[in-house]
Chains A and B, each alone.
Chain A
Amino acid sequence: MSDATDALAIGEPLMVLDGIHRRFMMGDEEVRALRGVSFTITKGEYVCIIGPSGSGKSTMMYLLGCLDTPSEGTYELAGYEVSELGDEELAALRNKYIGFVFQAFNLIPRTTTVDNVALPLRYAGVGIGERRRRAAQALERVGLGHRLDHTPDRLSGGERQRVAIARAIVTKPELLLCDEPTGNLDSRVGAEITRLFEELNHDMGVTVVIVTHDPNLAKRARRNIKLVDGQMVYDGPPQEGK
């Protein structure tokens, strides 16, 4: 996967899902987490995937993040057919195209913010000096330029999520994939984080996909995809009152 040359233009399809099924075995019972979901997300979109718990949101998030592969159906990310890729290629694909933001932040403890943020660059093969420099830039971008040498335990929840976002954007990915990013934050901080996503979407042109059941988050997106029982039941602009 070469660098930058294959960057997509705004409006080109980034993620194409066609007839996605995902089944698990839970003991003897087969769980059908996703049952034939198809949609396309183009570069530059800002999408929330919503739905009640157990609707298959999380499964969808791991599939979209190339951490999991579908049991049936095809998923193309930036032109790569995910089910055909092996461990190393999937790792490279995640590294290059996807930035993850988790509900629980998932920063590495006892490690400085700058080294936390620099982590994806290490797997991209960037040298240590350069990756600290870029990590500092990313932290600057999320408003934490003054917290480079702090360890996560000395940061507030909002700050930790900003560090996680810096880590997600440090590789300049195509896709920012967020799993309940405001779930562990109070509403004021949550709103700040939401604003940050909107800015990044607007300024960097990064595609933002947020898996959430936070209605405040969902209604600020331009597009909502609603899953119920593993099937897509709505795809369109946010519905008022929901």
Chain B
Amino acid sequence: MFEHVLSAFLALKANKIRAALTMLGVVIGVLAVTLLVGVGDGARIYLDEQISGLGTNLMTIVPGRRETRGFGPPAGNIARPLVMEDIQALERQGSLLRGISPMVMGGGAVRFKGRTRDTMILGVGPAFSDLRNMHVDRGSFVREEDVDSRRRVCVLGRTIVKELFGDENPLGQTVRLADGRFRVVGLMEERGTSLGFDLNDLVFIPVTAAMDLFNQDHLTQILTAARSKEDAPAASEEVEQILARRRNGERTFTIQSQDDLLKTFGALTGAMTLMLLAIASISLVVGGIGIMNIMLVSVRERTREIGVRRAVGATKSDILWQFLLESVVISSTGGGIGLALGASIVLALKRFAPSVPVALSPWIAAVAFGSSFVVGVLSGVVPARRAAELDPVEALRYE
């Protein structure tokens, strides 16, 4: 076998330019596979990180019955909305939950000394901070007593602080939120964007104050989390039972877990990666056809050589292996070069353009190299068989 590989390399060395041109198709094919799968994988890892960055083992309870995948009907006009009593019930009866925060969401303008910014206002409970991994930098977050006494206090995100206060210290100042006046008690730490959403452009107020402000008595959603990953399914079950009991067994709410979200996005990015892989495979197939074509030409051109080899003692299978391995060596070498180029580009992107989400996982390397090997075998079989089946006498007479 070593002999065959050796002579395959010798034959390629004897025909450098042709070998290089033949390789080019596979080089480009494998390069495309590496890059496109790198982009797909990068997107998947990016989404995973973003979703995991929201917190761990999170569950969101929304009113209404809906499938866990996709986006349901708009909130409001729900027969049995979520209310504060649900929170109390969960707090009393839930044994597997790490914290429970009611949430009321609304939009509104924040005003301070004539400056205004439209933003998102979140009515939350104290548990929100730990659940969502969003903490105050200065001052304090919404506290239990703030919720209990419907206190008009607020915690501001970084962007709002920058826009409204500039260098001024906002702590203790009073801002206008929609129609109400709120005292600033805390400033959130710097957070990036998540899935295109600016986490610094938020105002937090006690959930009770938010219900007053927006004049509603139900919650937009409830945020909670399982104690651990292992507890997650049981915790979800527990929440479901507690809430259903308060609704005479009717499940007029939906629990969405972070896992569901991860799975949804995972399926999405997985499909995207597969599609990209399919597109890249086309160029690999084209590269393979190129090899087959050149190998067929090569067999014809080297008919005399095949005759001579047979005359000096080569068997049919010697000839078969010779041409098959030439094809495999061309293709694998092309694959190796394509992989090296693709990997360099991915690594260069990671280094010089970190905002582009690309990734280089070992399986790409295996797939790229493996597929170039397979392409080599497939495109070599027909020419190699043709070479092996040549009649030595005919081959020697061939002009």
A residues near B (Cβ < 8 Å) are 62, 65, 67-68, 87-88, 91-92, 94-96, 100, 102, 104, 106, 108-111, 115, 119-120, 122-124, 128, 167, 171
Give the A-B contact count at a CB cut-off of 8 A.
66
Known: A87-B316, A102-B396, A109-B14. A122 touches B3 (CB 8 A): yes
A122→B7 contact, CB < 8 A: yes
Is B86's beta carbon under 8 Å from chain A?
no
Give A65 to B311 CA distance when docked, in angstroms: 8
Give A128 to B2 CA distance when docked, in angstroms: 11
CB distance from B79 to the nearest CB of A (A): 84
B310→A91 contact, CB < 8 A: yes
Interface 9-mer from B39-47, B203-211, B276-284, B301-309: B301-309
A87→B315 contact, CB < 8 A: yes
Is B367's beta carbon under 8 Å from chain A?
no
Instruction: Kindly report which residue of chain B lies nearest to residue A116, judged by CB atoms.
Output: B308
B315→A110 contact, CB < 8 A: no
Is B313's beta carbon under 8 Å from chain A?
yes
B residues near A (Cβ < 8 Å) are 3, 6-7, 10, 14-15, 304-305, 307-318, 392-393, 396
A sample of 6 inter-chain contacts (CB < 8 A) reads A62-B393, A94-B310, A100-B308, A109-B305, A111-B10, A128-B6
Residues from chain A with Cβ under 8 Å of B316 in the complex = 87
CB distance from A220 to the nearest CB of B (A): 25
Residues from chain B with Cβ under 8 Å of A65 in the complex = 311
A92→B310 contact, CB < 8 A: no
B7→A67 contact, CB < 8 A: no
Ranked 3 nearest A-B pairs via Cβ: A95-B313, A110-B14, A123-B313
Residues from chain B with Cβ under 8 Å of A102 in the complex = 308, 396
A67→B311 contact, CB < 8 A: yes
CB distance from A3 to the nearest CB of B (A): 14
Give A128 to B7 CA distance when docked, in angstroms: 11
B308→A108 contact, CB < 8 A: yes
Instruction: Kindly report which residue of chain B lies nearest to residue A89, judged by CB atoms.
Output: B315
Give A111 to B302 CA distance when docked, in angstroms: 13
B309→A119 contact, CB < 8 A: yes
Known: A67-B396, A106-B396, A122-B3. A115 touches B10 (CB 8 A): yes
Give A65 to B3 CA distance when docked, in angstroms: 25
CB distance from A112 to the nearest CB of B (A): 10
Instruction: Kindly report which residue of chain B lies nearest to residue A167, judged by CB atoms.
Output: B312
CB distance from B305 to the nearest CB of A (A): 5
Known: A106-B307, A109-B14, A115-B10. A123 touches B392 (CB 8 A): no
B314→A106 contact, CB < 8 A: no
Knowing that A104-B304, A123-B313, A123-B318 are A-B contacts, what are 4 other residue pairs whose CB atoms are under 8 Å apart, sorted by A's residue number?
A: A62-B393, A108-B308, A120-B313, A122-B7
Give A25 to B308 CA distance when docked, in angstroms: 24
A106→B304 contact, CB < 8 A: yes
CB < 8 Å neighbour of B314 from A91, A110, A111: A91
Known: A87-B316, A123-B318. A94 touches B14 (CB 8 A): no
Instruction: Kindly report which residue of chain A lies nearest to residue B2, judged by CB atoms.
Output: A128
Residues from chain B with Cβ under 8 Å of A96 in the complex = 313
CB distance from A177 to the nearest CB of B (A): 9
A106→B308 contact, CB < 8 A: yes
Instruction: Kindly report which residue of chain A lies nearest to residue B6, judged by CB atoms.
Output: A128
CB distance from A239 to the nearest CB of B (A): 30
Instruction: Kindly report which residue of chain B lies nearest to residue A108, judged by CB atoms.
Output: B305
Residues from chain B with Cβ under 8 Å of A88 in the complex = 315, 317
Residues from chain B with Cβ under 8 Å of A68 in the complex = 392-393
CB distance from A198 to the nearest CB of B (A): 23
A91→B313 contact, CB < 8 A: yes
Give A226 to B164 CA distance when docked, in angstroms: 114
CB distance from A171 to the nearest CB of B (A): 8
Residues from chain A with Cβ under 8 Å of B309 in the complex = 119, 123
CB < 8 Å neighbour of A91 from B7, B14, B304, B315: B315
Listed residue (B310, B318, B392) with the most chain A CB atoms within 10 angstroms of its CB: B392
Residues from chain B with Cβ under 8 Å of A87 in the complex = 315-316
Instruction: Kindly report which residue of chain A lies nearest to residue B388, judged by CB atoms.
Output: A87
Instruction: Kindly report which residue of chain A lies nearest to residue B392, judged by CB atoms.
Output: A67
Instruction: Kindly report which residue of chain A lies nearest to residue B399, judged by CB atoms.
Output: A104
Instruction: Kindly report which residue of chain B lies nearest to residue A100, judged by CB atoms.
Output: B311
Listed residue (B304, B310, B311, B392) with the most chain A CB atoms within 10 angstroms of its CB: B311
Give A108 to B275 CA distance when docked, in angstroms: 46
Give A124 to B312 CA distance when docked, in angstroms: 9
Known: A106-B307, A110-B14, A111-B10. A124 touches B313 (CB 8 A): yes
Residues from chain A with Cβ under 8 Å of B317 in the complex = 88
Instruction: Kindly report which residue of chain A lies nearest to residue B395, judged by CB atoms.
Output: A67
CB distance from B220 to the nearest CB of A (A): 77
Give A67 to B36 CA distance when docked, in angstroms: 52
Known: A67-B393, A67-B396. A92 touches B313 (CB 8 A): yes
